[in-house]
Amino acid sequence: MKTKEIKKVLIAMDYDETSQKVAEQGFSMAKAMNAEVILLHVISEQYVYYSEYSYMRELQVDYSDDLEDSSQKFLNKTRKYLGDESIRTIIKLGGIAETILETAKDLNADIIVIGSHSRNWLENIFLGSQAQDLLKKSTLPLLIIPTEKPN
């Protein structure tokens, strides 16, 4: 049986302080395979909720320009930290899991590297898990790096 060669590694990152660990491990794997590295940050649609006694309203707030600038600086800093200026960076706006999968497909990525934040069961009920969502929907291999915030 012939194994598939990994030529493109898509590393999806968020602003969590553990993202550096995800980038390091994904980059290390990619370099060991002489694969291209692409860093992706997805800006999810921002909603602001406010409530009064009798109702709750949802307001959509557009912070995308500021977030894109901040995201690009974050990805550039990560690229510099990894020491490889050939790393491509991409910023997309949309739903996190869907956008990661769509981007991976558009780029013909061979594997997706993501982090999975340690959360308690109550946080998972309310916040969900992007890693879990990706795992359910992906047809590509995933490398899920367990991350834990430093104490």
Q: Spell out the domains of the chain, with CATH numbers in brackets.
A: 8-147 (3.40.50.620)
- Tens digits of pLDDT across the chain (151 residues): 677 789 999 999 987 778 888 999 999 999 999 999 999 999 886 554 445 555 554 544 455 567 788 889 999 999 999 999 999 999 998 888 899 999 999 999 999 998 876 555 544 544 456 777 787 888 899 888 887 765 5
**What is the distance between the alpha carbons of residues 137 and 140, in angstroms, rounded to a whole number?**
9
Based on DSSP, count helices (H) and strands (E) in the chain, helices before strands.
5, 7
Residue 34: alpha-carbon gap to chain centroid: 22
Query: Quick one: pLDDT at residue 125?
Result: 42
Report the DSSP pairing between strands 47-51 and 56-60: antiparallel
What's the pTM value of the predicted model, to 2 decimals? 0.79
